[in-house]
Structure 1
Amino acid sequence: MTAAQPSGVQELILVRHGESVGNVAATEAERSGLEVIDLETRDADTPLSRLGAEQAAALGSWLRGCSRDDAPEAAWSSPYLRAVQTATIAMREAGSGLVLRTDERLRDRELGILDLLTTTGVDARYPAESARRRHLGKFYYRPPGGESWADLALRVRAFLGDLDRVEDGRRVLVVAHDAVIMTVRYVCERLSERDVLELARHTPVRNAAVTRLVRTTDGWSATAVNDDAHLVREDTPVTQHPGDRDALPH
């Protein structure tokens, strides 16, 4: 007698957005030792870079090549522009007829007063916050006006609970951000604080890379992590901008 298929979403296809203009600006500011990231748009309106759009198109070629048993049956995205652009370009390239839905709970982690500051900038302008972060640790530290990773986990749990009801039995594409994808893994795979921070430290999510989580009667398991073979096949440069370091937009 075979075990009954668990209810809810059957597979999560998690994709980080393509390289954004903010990724490029933040990396350059860190490299140059600047205190402030030169970015005019608010985080929600930061678009893809030209390379990011190419990465999204390469993701679309991967979607087009998925078999019927592997292709997503629903598509969701963070409402932030870079994520919506990634999903839209990829789905257009794939010739997908799926309707893209957004949910604000998939937005990137909010940094409050640290927004647009580099690590150097936080140390220089808010030394007490730097010390508080070191004391509390990355998972529980909440910048004033912002969110901790624990806060992010609350909204991710709420989103996943609703998704189980709306997309019961389906494979779902979710296009979001580095910290969000790590937090989905933390929740679904029942990782510890140490586990998820080790993943973030050593395996940051690459732009337009694919992570697949499959649900079984025993829970969720990852069948692919940070897969960027589609970028390589399309001769599209792979980018690995720093993960969530409390002072960088992603």
Structure 2
Amino acid sequence: MAVQEIWLVRHGESVANVAAARAEAAGEDLIDVPYRDADVPLSPLGEDQSRSLGQELVDRGIDDVPVALWVSPYLRAQQTIEIALAAAGQTEPPKRVDERLRDRELGVLDLHTLQGVRNRHPDEERRRQWLGKFYHRPAGGESWADVMLRLRSALADVERLEGTERLVIAAHDAVVMMVVAVCLDLDEPALMDFARTHAVANASLTRVRREHAGAPWMLEEFSSVEHLDDDEVTAHTGRKDDEDVR
């Protein structure tokens, strides 16, 4: 028995998402978040989104087949899936917390708005413009290519899962996007094309599927939020360094 489906869950809205949106709207350089990235919790809306997600997982029959759960070590991702499963009355499936599923690290650009990057790190802004988002690695941070590399390593472990047909991954927007890129074998131009027209919403569900081990993965669904009420839908991108992909 091999994994045939991967369900990718982005965490619900976090307090950092809210602070980033507020700082951008106010034209400020820096985002006021009193937590390190790993410890950022969900906002009240993010908790509501997670409960709605839980009902959706039940409605879709999350445990109709043997399930495994992989989770980012970051608090907001862990809270999202814990709240979702509790709201759904579901027993937690076998779980692995994997550091390779953490959010993209932005290094010196962390806690900067787009304006803040231009004002305070003009050299990084010029490098970003020259290299593009896929290869631009902020000092002390990661490029999309770096994130993709660690996720290739994580996804290789999928083939070693025994007795599991469905893998649920609770993580971050960059992780969802890069897992899709790895599964669909997207190169830089194809990925950037896809990212220009697709964003990963908070508490959204993305699914990839294959017929059997070794078969190509197919994208079945991307960033579905049909389970959320209109006033619950948010597409915060968090603290990003590239205004071309929002």
Instruction: Please state how far the C-alpha of 1:10 moved relative to its aligned partner.
Output: 1.1
Q: Does 2:70 correspond to 1:73? A: no
Residues 41-95 of structure 1, C-alpha deviations (whole Å, 9 max, x = no match)? 0010000000000000001111122237756711111110000000100111122
Contact 1:30–1:119, Cα closer than 8 Å, also in 2: yes
Q: Which of 33, 47, 50 in structure 2 is aligned with 1:56?
A: 50
- Inter-partner Cα distance in structure 2 for 1:124 and 1:168: 52
Q: Which of 230, 233, 237 in structure 2 is aligned with 1:238?
A: 233
Partner SS, residue 73 of structure 2: coil
- For 1:66, the aligned partner's letter is R
1:178 aligned partner: 173
Contact 2:110–2:239, Cα closer than 8 Å, also in 1: no
Contact 1:113–1:145, Cα closer than 8 Å, also in 2: yes
Instruction: Please state how far the C-alpha of 1:167 moved relative to its aligned partner.
Output: 4.7
Contact 1:73–1:172, Cα closer than 8 Å, also in 2: yes
62 and 213 in structure 1: CA distance in 2 versus 1, 3 angstrom threshold: same
- Alignment: residue pair count: 240
2:141 aligned partner: 146
Instruction: Please state how far the C-alpha of 1:198 moved relative to its aligned partner.
Output: 2.6
TM-score w.r.t. the length of structure 2 is 0.91
55 and 12 in structure 1: CA distance in 2 versus 1, 3 angstrom threshold: same
Residues 8-36 of structure 1, C-alpha deviations (whole Å, 9 max, x = no match)? 42110001000000101011111111000
Instruction: Please state how far the C-alpha of 1:246 moved relative to its aligned partner.
Output: 2.3
Contact 1:58–1:230, Cα closer than 8 Å, also in 2: yes
1:221 aligned partner: 218
2:90 aligned partner: 96
Q: Which of 13, 20, 24 in structure 2 is aligned with 1:26?
A: 20
Instruction: Please state how far the C-alpha of 1:191 moved relative to its aligned partner.
Output: 1.2
- For 2:109, the aligned partner's letter is L
1:4 aligned partner: none
Instruction: Please state how far the C-alpha of 1:163 moved relative to its aligned partner.
Output: 2.7
Q: Which of 194, 210, 219 in structure 2 is aligned with 1:199?
A: 194
- For 2:142, the aligned partner's letter is E
Contact 2:65–2:166, Cα closer than 8 Å, also in 1: yes
2:206 aligned partner: 211
Partner SS, residue 8 of structure 2: strand
Fraction of identical pairs, as percent? 51
Contact 1:178–1:244, Cα closer than 8 Å, also in 2: no
8 and 146 in structure 1: CA distance in 2 versus 1, 3 angstrom threshold: farther
Residues 93-134 of structure 1, C-alpha deviations (whole Å, 9 max, x = no match)? 122222432100000000011110111111111101100110
Please, which moves more after superposition, 137-146 or 89-98?
89-98
1:3 aligned partner: none
Contact 1:206–1:226, Cα closer than 8 Å, also in 2: yes
- For 2:50, the aligned partner's letter is A
Q: Which of 103, 106, 111 in structure 1 is aligned with 2:106?
A: 111
Contact 1:206–1:241, Cα closer than 8 Å, also in 2: yes
Q: Does 2:118 correspond to 1:123? A: yes
- For 2:39, the aligned partner's letter is D
Please, which moves more after superposition, 49-58 or 60-69?
60-69
- What RMSD over aligned residues (CA atoms) do the two structures have, in Å? 2.0
Contact 1:213–1:222, Cα closer than 8 Å, also in 2: yes
- For 1:43, the aligned partner's letter is D
Instruction: Please state how far the C-alpha of 1:168 moved relative to its aligned partner.
Output: 5.7
Task: Give the gaps of 5 or more residues in structure 1.
Answer: 1-6
Contact 1:55–1:236, Cα closer than 8 Å, also in 2: no
Task: Give the gaps of 5 or more residues in structure 2.
Answer: none
